[in-house]
Structure 1
Amino acid sequence: MLNFFKKNIFLVIIFIFFSIIFIFSRFTYNVTNSLTKGIYFKKFFPKYKKNNLVLFELDKKYLKYLENFPNKNKMKKIYLIKRIVGVCGDKIENRNGGIFINGEKKGEIFKIKGLNENKNENKNIKKEESYVLRKDEFFVMGDTPTSFDSRYFGILKKKNFKFEMKLLIDEKKLEKIIKYF
């Protein structure tokens, strides 16, 4: 009886918690491997600074390059969550097959069939050149080496961002909660 009571109290607390968050924010579930899979929520007062996560709409012209994106052909809009790794004043360099931010290597640039090898379509960072980010310009990347991010679609402007996001619960914790019930 006591165990049943504890379980119901826990369910009520979870319900109230998610109801409050739902009322005051928006959720999204990340299904790609570029960041931790899980439930993310919109922060109330966005601060677009290094290491923060942002949600933005990907230009449809890049849709064809997302090989493993679930249901990409059925979606009218594609939203991605990425981490801000470059902000105003940062020097972005495309050299030796990699991306460097202020001299620190952040990742490799892999060849993607169909994308111009010498420059991205935004023409911001050509091969073997550098670019200093201006006000309200950002360079975003996923947390995995094969993420489709600014290395391929270029620099984003602040106006491109829909929300700053925060991981609420990762996929592993979510699975444990579901198994509990």
Structure 2
Amino acid sequence: MKKIFKKYFFSVFVFIFFLIIFIFTRFTYNVTNSLPKGFYFKKIFPKYEKNNLVLFELNKKYLKYLENFPNKNKMRKIYLMKRIAGVYGDKIEIKRSGEILINGIKKGKIFKIKGLNENMKGESYVLKKDEFFVMGDTPTSFDSRYFGILKKKDLKFEMKFLIDEKNLEKIIKYF
């Protein structure tokens, strides 16, 4: 009886251990203002389509341009979450005025950032296969308007929104 207990106990323990690791590594919390603050789930089978949320690692050369990002200098890697705004075949236009259009529809403005884009000129580009243009939901989001186009290999996960900060507070107060 003891041998059976030990055998099953170990199997159950290993199963629970991996289940906990799987569950806790599938979630992330957004701390920036470019998307609603809250918990997001990392999808197992991603679909990188327009309007879907994605998580990617920001190239370190852009760290100095991130404002109000908690502990950015202490982190080895910075991951950002943005919405896919442009996909294969979409035409991205940047006007001299800083306006950005995707397929002729105004999507926002590019603000001048010293040392990054001071000499802005009008240009257009059609996204190739496995290229993505990502944007946050706020006008001042640090996104593809500043760091450029992402390749499919740059995308780590498709994300799904679960619960925002305000509703999470309500749940915690309930308990």
TM-score normalised to the size of structure 1?
Answer: 0.82
Using the alignment, how far apart are the partners of 2:41 and 2:114 within structure 1?
34
Tell me how far 1:24 sits from its aligned partner: 8.4
Tell me how far 1:116 sits from its aligned partner: 2.9
Q: Deviations over 1:98-137 (max 9, x none)?
A: 1100000101101112213235xxxxxxx21100000000
Moved over 4 A (4+): 19-22
User: Based on CA coordinates, which of the two structures has the bigger radius of gyration?
Assistant: 2
Letter in 2 for 1:72: K
Q: Deviations over 1:2-52 (max 9, x none)?
A: xxxxxxxxxxxxxxxxx7895386111000000010000111210000000
Q: Determine the structure 1 residue equivalent to 2:52.
A: 52
CA contact (8 A) 1:37 1:170 kept: yes
The unaligned stretches of length 5 or more in structure 1 are 1-18, 120-126
CA contact (8 A) 1:32 1:69 kept: yes
Q: Determine the structure 1 residue equivalent to 2:29.
A: 29
TM-score normalised to the size of structure 2?
Answer: 0.85
The unaligned stretches of length 5 or more in structure 2 are 1-18
Using the alignment, how far apart are the partners of 1:63 and 1:20 within structure 2?
32
In percent, how many aligned pairs have the same letter? Answer: 84
- Structure 2 residue matching 1:162: 3-state secondary structure: strand
CA contact (8 A) 2:83 2:137 kept: yes
Q: Determine the structure 1 residue equivalent to 2:137.
A: 143
- How many residues are treated as equivalent by the alignment? 156
- Structure 2 residue matching 1:64: 3-state secondary structure: helix
CA contact (8 A) 2:117 2:146 kept: no
Letter in 2 for 1:84: I
CA contact (8 A) 1:53 1:82 kept: yes
Q: Aligned-residue CA RMSD in angstroms?
A: 1.7
The verdict on how the C-alpha distance between 1:63 and 1:24 changes in structure 2, with shifts beyond 3 A counting, is closer
- Structure 2 residue matching 1:36: 3-state secondary structure: coil
Tell me how far 1:66 sits from its aligned partner: 0.3
